[in-house]
Each structure stands twice: as C-alpha cells, then as structure tokens.
Structure 1
Amino acid sequence: MDICKDSQRCTGCSACLSVCPRSAIQIAEDSHGFYRPKIDESKCVECGLCQMVCPANGLTSNDLKMSPRRLLAYQADDAERLKSSSGAAFWTLATYVLNNGGVVYGACFDEDFRVVQRRCASVDDAQSCRGSKYSQGFVGSSFVEAYNDLKQGLDVLYSGTPCQIAGLRSFLSKKNYSGQLVTCDLICHGTPSNRMFRDYISFLEKKSGKKVIKYFHRPKDRGWGVHVEKALLDDGTALYNTIESNTWRDVFYSNNALNSSCYNCSYTDVNRVSDFTLADFLGVDRVRKGFNDHKGLSVVMVNSELAERIVASGVFEPGVTDISLEEVLPGNPMLERSSSPQGDVDGFWKAYEHKGFEGTARFVGAYGFVKSLKTLVKQLIKRK
C-alpha cells in the first residue's frame, strides 16, 4: 500500500513510522538521499493509520495551521548571539524550557554529519542544536520519545521544519498526555538531502587532504547577514570563505537540490503549524533604520495562545520589539511561496548520479573554472 497519495509530496516527517502499531515501517534514503517510508509487507495489516496520520495527504495539515497573533524582533545578549545563527531566539526558548525541568528536541549533527532530531535534557546537551542546518533532518523515533516525555508530565520543546512539526502534531492529535508541548518551526527555504551534504563533506576532505571535524553554516566571523560557510579541520586550520567551503551554499541556493515536496510546500504560508515560528529578520535595514547591529536579529512569530502566555512571562525580555508582518515579508518570501528550481533539475540529479557532489557543483556553476574566474574578478574589483 502507498502511504502518501502523491509520493512527490512526502517530506520524510516519520509520522507514519511513529504511528504504526506493528513496526512495519522503516525510514530509508531513496536514490537521491531523501528520507522515505518503506513498508515491510510481511508485518503490515493495512490498518490505514499511516495514511490517516500523513500530513501530505491533506487530511490534517490545514487544520493544524494558526494565524500569527504577534510578531517580534528579538536579540539576545552578544555572547549568546555569537553562538547562534541569528538573534538566539531558539536558544532563549530552549533554556526557558530546560530551566523549568523540561526537555528539548532539535536538529544537530552526529559524528558523521547526519542531521538528526535529538532529545536534550540539559543546557549542555542542547548546545549541539544551535545554529542552522541546511539539509534534511532524520526524525527517527523522536516523535515517540517526545510523546513518552509528555506522558510523564514533562514540558517538551520540539523544534524542527514546519513539515516535521505537522507530522508531530498529527501523530499526537488523538493522544492524551499531561505535559505541555511547545512547538517551534522556522521559515524554511527547503531541504537538500543529507546524503548529498555528507558527500560534500567528503569533497572538502578530498580537496584539503584533511578531516573535517566541525561544520558551521553561516558563522558570524564577519558578522550577521554575511553568508559564508566554515569547516574546521583536524589539524586546527579552517576552510572559510573559500570556493570549496562555499560550494554547499551555492548548491543550496540553486534550489535544484531540494526535496521534491519543497517545490509545492504546504507550509510556505503566513498561517503556521507551530506555536512559534523563527527566522532571520532579513531586510531589516530597509524597514527599521539603525536597528541592525550586525550581531544577529531574529523574527519571532507568536502563533498560539500558549506562545502568547510564554511571551507574557517575559522570556524574551529584554531585547524584544514588536514588529509587523509587512516588515517581515520582503525578507522572508517563503512565508508566501515555495522555492523554485533555478535550472534543469533532472540534469542536476543525473550529474549527481554520474559524478557525485562535485558533478552537481559544476552543473550549477558553484565549482570549477568559471566559478574560479568569477571569484578572481570579484577579488580584483574589491582591491580597486
């Protein structure tokens, strides 16, 4: 049986795996590295729960959405913002929940640079969830783990992409628990496959002759709003703002590497599926003169009554300012539309199948002679 009515809309959220009473579903990588459910027909009893819980079938996704009640601009103190991609809004929510005895689920890199949804019961554990992750995350058993925490009366902050939160809320919709669930999503550009990202890490290691031990999307070495990427190597050196270390950024923004569901995303909408929605306050200089100190500024969309109560408790004080949706929309177009591929997607994936990550990078002009020439010209212009 097919779980999704349209397989191209599957986000890999793992709600189906979480709800299956016979453990008949596994989540595996497809030929491009995206997570997809696979059914063990010898275990399946065709109960239909997986189809009913799947947000991609359109049965629940619209019912889960909430209109924003407030929008805030937020900046934590300098030390916390330095360790975050934006204004440290996620970290402020995470420490609020953890300090109240709760647990946090968020995206982190494992030792092989897989992005996984991880349960964190302490501030030290949650540090790995800070910062942007620009590839698809593996949910695994985290929905079931979160449900078990909620049944024990714990407060849970679950942070993820909107499609992951839709899957979680759909999974929990008919379940009883005594803990408080706080959900947090982001204004999402789309998710490339994590297998391709791991191939990119191997590409960096091949080009440098060294092992990558840590990776940062959008580090703040040059301040907030400057998107360059950084890889720490095992000899203590770093690849920073080089053609090689920025290759993933350029492939990502080509949009050709995204999951097929991202091109017709159900969640690129002002109405949100989470209590909180976070983003960078991109374009702030056009609407709030003098507001940007170049250290990081978050947008916080407050979408539910629960989120309003948390804000009213002072969790974001000081450092918070009310803003309008009209100020946020120009810099965050994925509140209104899905990402679109900028080239030949089929050709992109054929390049990946035949020549690996380097082939895709060359295909979109992110690596190779033309890229080197353009980079050299830009450097010469800057020197004048």
Structure 2
Amino acid sequence: MIKITEKYNCTGCHACANVCPKECINMESDSEGFLYPGVDLKSCIACGLCEKVCPVSNKKDIDNEPQAFACYSKNEQVRLESSSGGIFTLIAEQIINEGGVVFGVILDKDMTAVHSYAESMEQLKAFRGSKYVQSKIGEAYKIAGNFLKKNRKVLFSGTPCQIAGLKAYLQQEYDNLFCIDIICHGVPSPRAWGKYVSYQESHMGSKVQGANFRHKDKGWNRFSMELEFNNGTRYIQTLDKDLYMQAFLKDACLRPSCHKCSFKTLHRQSDITLADFWGIQKIAPHMDDDKGTSLVFANSGKGKLMLDRLQNLIVSERVDIDKAVCYNPAAFRSAGENPKRGAFFEDIGKLPFDKLAYKYCSESIVITAKRKMTEAAAKVLKKTGLLHAAKKVLK
C-alpha cells in the first residue's frame, strides 16, 4: 500500500491510482491544492502494485545520448499561437494523420488544467501553448493504455514526472507510443491558479472563458498573460507585471517535489523534450526573431526519426547541448524554494490574490530571473571547462 510520508516524494502523477485493481486509491487535494493518493483501507487487497509503479520510489536510470536542436515551425500562425516554436503541433499532426491519438493538457470550462486526448486536428488547438499549473491526469494513463493495446499510435505529452508515471504504469514498452516531455520549471498549485482566476473575475465582473499563459503581443522574450472574459473584455499583462506569473516565477507556489525533482536530467524517458530556447541570441542569433524558438532534445531513435520527418516543415539547426543548457538550467536543476513559500500558502485562504502576490512576490521577476540564469550558466560553464574561455570572450 502506497504511503506518502514526505510530500516531496510524490509528484502527483496518478500512476498508483490508475494501476489499482480495486480502484481504492483516490487523489485528494491538500491545503495547498496539490493532489496526493489516499487509500481506502477497507478495499485495499495489499497487492503492492501502487508501490511498484511509483516513479519516484522506482526511478529508472536512462542511458542515452540526446541531441539538441534549435527549431521553429515554418507555419507562422502555428508558431504565433504556440509557447515557443510550434514543434509540438507539428508532431501531434503527424500522429493524427496516421490515425493516432494525442494526449495533452487543456483548460476545461472551470479553467481547471486536466489531461485529455484528441483524435482530430480541430481538437489539437486546445493543447497548444503552456499551462502554468499542475494538470490532473485522472484516468489518462488507463485510456492511453487501452489505445495502445488496440494498436493505435499514441502521443502522450506532459511533464517529465508524468511521462515517468505513464511508463511505470504501462510496465512494458510499446512501439506505437511516442512521448514528449518539457524542460519544466515546476508545477504551480491549482489552488493558487484558482485563487488568481477568482480575483480576476471579481475585478472584471465576468467569468474567465479562456487563458493564454504565453501571449506574444510584446514578443516571445517578454510574453504576456492573456485572459478572455464572457462579457467580451480581455486582460493582458506582461510576465513581469502579472500577479500570477510573479508567484510562479518567484517559486512561491510550486509543488514540494519540484524543489527536489527526481526527473531533472538530460537522460530522459521521453522521445522528445521541448522547451523555450532561452539564450538562442547567444548560441544561434540568426534563429532569433523574437517570435519563438524551440530547444528540442531528441532522446531516442523514435525522436530523431520524427525530427527527420519534419524537416520540410521546420527551420532547424543542431546545437551543442552543453552550451544550450547553460541558458536553460531547469533541464537538470530543481527549482529553488522561496523562503516565503510556507507563509504564502498560510495566507492563501486569508488574502485576496493581489495582496498575496504583493506581500510575497514583490521583487522584480526580471532581476531574479537574470540572477538565477547567470549563476546557473556560470556553474555549467565551470563544469564543462568553458568558464575561462567565456570570460576571455566577454572581456
């Protein structure tokens, strides 16, 4: 029987709940809004499957040699509507065209992030773009497993821990499964997101009907949060001024496991890893037009083959992976824990979201992000022996 004694040991991946033959594990929300497994002891038969599939307790060592690429879609509209370069959409379309099924994250009518699946091009649109809130897997692993057993091609996208959870749940490899994960900063609390949505609805006098966490009205580097309301009004604010983005990027509302992540590594279980290519202006400036460039890791033979199939649809250039991660340290480093995190969640039920954010997330995001990136880049350069050379170039 699975038992969570330290919250940083549970990612909320739902693998245990999906695998339970008696369906006696329910994912229950804690005071911070994160889901953890709760076991109905009366129904439990002590089969041990829940413990067997926990990806944190049974972490796999992956031996691969990922290749890194700078990429973006030649379809300007897809690229504009995507978080970075639009590569996810192109891969998803390949799977749909072959009669497959694509799993990803949508925001439902209540603005809750949930995993769902698409079987048509039209349905894919809801998956496009980042959702900066932890998604609820629900029974997505079970559903994906059923499609795989019917020999349908399945693309499953999610955070690294969600992909690890899927692989652990399946307990075998499938040739018709293709997995995409992301370079994940960390997953914010659904309660914090709900609190923010309620604040905006109260402020605007209308229900939120849509959200875009990465609107590019001010460009890709300085993206905006966009909310659409039922009364036709629209809210849009850049990442350094939006209250929710302040809480997210200041690490005030992340899941405990994100601060001790077991899946931050360059050796991943996914076939493809996608991310924003921060630092592209330094590494391949000719591919930086502030419209969004993806950093892509091809982690497996299937991943490399997929990129080859997309060559006519993308602009792509192979890059040095060590240099790329200098500017993208979240690939291998856990998010730092904000010292005010505990106080943030203690007050989350007491203060409106604006006062909560002003109280605990007042330092400039831009200053904080630049400092973190500089510190991380220096560590990587030192580790790879490039620090001395970098200093000479800067001088």
TM-score, L = length of structure 1: 0.89
Matches within 5 A, 1:71-86: 71-76=68-73, 77-86=75-84
Which ranges in structure 2 are unaligned for 5 or more consecutive residues? 365-395
Change (3 A) 1:41 1:91: same
Change (3 A) 1:23 1:348: same
Moved more, 290-299 or 353-362: 353-362
Q: Does structure 2 conserve the Cα–Cα contact (< 8 Å) formed by 1:156 and 1:180?
A: yes
Q: Does structure 2 conserve the Cα–Cα contact (< 8 Å) formed by 1:218 and 1:226?
A: no
1:19 aligns with 2:12: no
Q: Does structure 2 conserve the Cα–Cα contact (< 8 Å) formed by 1:352 and 1:359?
A: no
1:29 maps to what in 2? 29
Q: How much does 1:5 deviate?
A: 5.9
In structure 2, distance between residues paired with 1:199 and 1:292:
36
Q: Does structure 2 conserve the Cα–Cα contact (< 8 Å) formed by 1:204 and 1:245?
A: no
In structure 1, distance between residues paired with 2:181 and 2:5:
25
Amino acid paired to 2:319 = I
Deviations 1:204-252 (A, max 9, x none): 0111222221111010112211132111122222111179971110010
Matches within 5 A, 1:173-188: 173-174=171-172, 180-188=176-184
1:144 aligns with 2:142: yes
TM-score, L = length of structure 2: 0.87
Change (3 A) 1:188 1:66: farther
2:248 maps to what in 1? 252
Deviations 1:183-204 (A, max 9, x none): 0000000011112201110000
In structure 2, distance between residues paired with 1:31 and 1:69:
39
In structure 1, distance between residues paired with 2:113 and 2:139:
14
Q: How much does 1:289 deviate?
A: 2.3
**Large movers: runs of 4+ above 4 Å:** 242-245
Change (3 A) 1:66 1:74: farther
Amino acid paired to 1:220 = K
- Aligned to 2:56, what secondary structure does the other structure show? helix
| Pairing partner for 1:278 from 237, 255, 274 | 274
Amino acid paired to 2:133 = S
| Pairing partner for 2:292 from 291, 296, 302 | 296
1:67 maps to what in 2? 64
Change (3 A) 1:273 1:47: same
Q: How much does 1:66 deviate?
A: 4.6
1:164 aligns with 2:162: yes
2:391 maps to what in 1? none
2:216 maps to what in 1? 220
Identity %: 34
Q: Does structure 1 conserve the Cα–Cα contact (< 8 Å) formed by 2:24 and 2:43?
A: yes
Q: Does structure 1 conserve the Cα–Cα contact (< 8 Å) formed by 2:106 and 2:126?
A: yes
Which ranges in structure 1 are unaligned for 5 or more consecutive residues? 372-384
Q: Does structure 1 conserve the Cα–Cα contact (< 8 Å) formed by 2:250 and 2:361?
A: no
Q: How much does 1:79 deviate?
A: 1.4
2:315 maps to what in 1? 319
What is the aligned residue count?
A: 363
In structure 1, distance between residues paired with 2:314 and 2:224:
29
Matches within 5 A, 1:73-112: 73-76=70-73, 77-112=75-110
Q: Does structure 1 conserve the Cα–Cα contact (< 8 Å) formed by 2:243 and 2:354?
A: no
- Aligned to 1:299, what secondary structure does the other structure show? strand
Q: Does structure 1 conserve the Cα–Cα contact (< 8 Å) formed by 2:251 and 2:337?
A: yes
In structure 1, distance between residues paired with 2:278 and 2:41:
47
- Aligned to 2:196, what secondary structure does the other structure show? helix
1:306 maps to what in 2? 302
2:374 maps to what in 1? none
1:155 aligns with 2:153: yes
Change (3 A) 1:267 1:243: closer
1:119 aligns with 2:103: no
Q: How much does 1:155 deviate?
A: 0.4
Q: RMSD of the TM alignment (CA)?
A: 2.0
Deviations 1:102-138 (A, max 9, x none): 0000011000011011011111111100001001000
1:207 maps to what in 2? 203
Q: How much does 1:310 deviate?
A: 2.0
Amino acid paired to 2:14 = S
In structure 2, distance between residues paired with 1:272 and 1:310:
17
Deviations 1:6-28 (A, max 9, x none): 43220110000111011111112
